[in-house]
Amino acid sequence: MTTVLTDELDPRLLEHRRELTGYCYRMLGSAFDADDAVQETMVRAWRGLSDFEGRSALRSWLYRIATNVCLDQLSGRQRRALPMDLSGSPWQPVEASLAARRPGTAWVEPVLDRQVVAEDADPAEQAVQRESIRLAFVSALQHLPPRQRAVLLLREVLRWRADEVAQLLDTTVASVNSALQRARATMAEVGGEAETEPLDDVHRALLDRYVDAFERYDVESLVALLHEDATQHMPPLEMWLRGRADIGTWMLGPGAKCRGSRVLPTLANGAPAFAQYRPRAGGGHEPWALHVLEVRAGRVAHISSFLDLDNELFRRLGLPVEPPA
């Protein structure tokens, strides 16, 4: 892929970078792949801008390019997933579960809200953008064939008309409506509509208590903030846990090296999250995991812990490589 420096691009193209990143992330299930797709979109648009001549709206033209880039990337590729999607039963919290690992390309990956949620959008639109990057929704999208995925996103997230989508995909309105109907049925079947609650003051206070307990490694206080049947998984490991008792046992067993960690609160996938920096052998702290929390009814219902085992996750998400002072 040809690299074009940002300062070489027409400002009209850069205005759409963030929303295109959000669209490509939902299509591809990876913030890293989304960045590559948007870069390729910008390259193609930069090359063709002189011939564009306003034949259609610039935004629609960019989405057409981005969709084609994503469809090319998805051709012949296996769907990304989360550990709970692949294994019907939770693992026991023993050291052996650390051995089962898949490459990063197998998993749905996280994205920071600031990468894809428009800061200048009205609150209602921001809520839609956050809801559509929830991990449960993005994971469910991966069950759809690529063109159905594009139709669902364009029609129900971006609110495009059926004739606009048909024009973008070079197909008919009837075909778009049929694809949307099939996509909705699949999403309902695989559980793409997870229960979510807005991030209000109550949830912020819960996150503060969670972060405090984690940094003190007070496991008893931490698991008290979880639902009794809370779940946790840790890509790229295949293992996942169910029940706060097993999560607590894991933290005091295989996860005990996390004692003494520092954390940085943030927002990821439309949910409260925190970056964890684990004590490093020889002193200091190293990037270790991004934890994304699902909160329901005043307690944590699920924890997605994305481990930075290859020292790439924090760097590519733009997270600090050192904990805050």
Contact between 284 and 127 (Cβ < 8 Å): no
A 10 A CB-CB count for 218 gives: 12
- For residue 193, pLDDT beyond 50: yes
Backbone angles phi, psi at 146, to 5 degrees: -50, -40
pLDDT reported for residue 1: 46
Phi-psi region of 191 (alpha: psi -120 to 50; beta: other; left: phi over 0): left
Tokens standing for residue 123: 């609150």
Among left, alpha and beta (phi > 0; psi -120 to 50; other), residue 54 is left
What residues does each domain of the chain span? 79-135+196-324
Spatial neighbors of 316 by CB under 8 A, at least 6 apart, are 31, 32, 35
**pLDDT given for residue 197 in this prediction:** 64
The answer to whether residues 106 and 80 touch, using CB atoms and an 8 Å cutoff, is yes
pLDDT of residue 88: 77
Q: What is the mean pLDDT of residues 283-308?
A: 95
Tell me the per-residue pLDDT of 123-176, one tens digit each, with 9 for 90 and over.
888 888 999 999 999 999 999 999 999 999 999 999 999 999 999 999 999 999
Write phi, then psi, for 113 (nearest 5 degrees): -55, -40
Q: Give the right CATH number for 79-135+196-324 from 2.60.120.10, 3.10.450.50, 3.40.50.1820, 3.40.50.720.
A: 3.10.450.50
> Does residue 55 register a pLDDT over 60?
no
In the block, residue with structure tokens 């699902």: 294
C-alpha closest to that of 104 among 2, 50, 32, 175:
32
Which backbone phi and psi does 226 adopt, to 5 degrees? -95, 150
pLDDT of 73 higher than 90: yes
The pLDDT assigned to 12 comes to 76
pTM, full prediction: 0.92
**Mean pLDDT for all residues in the chain:** 91
Residue 6 pLDDT > 60: no
3-state secondary structure of 200: coil
pLDDT digits (tens, 9 = 90+) for 78-133: 889 999 988 778 998 998 889 899 998 999 999 999 999 988 888 888 888 999 99
pLDDT tens per residue across span 236-278: 999 999 999 999 999 999 999 999 999 999 999 999 999 999 9
**At 242, which amino acid appears?**
R
- Give the three-state DSSP class for 309: coil
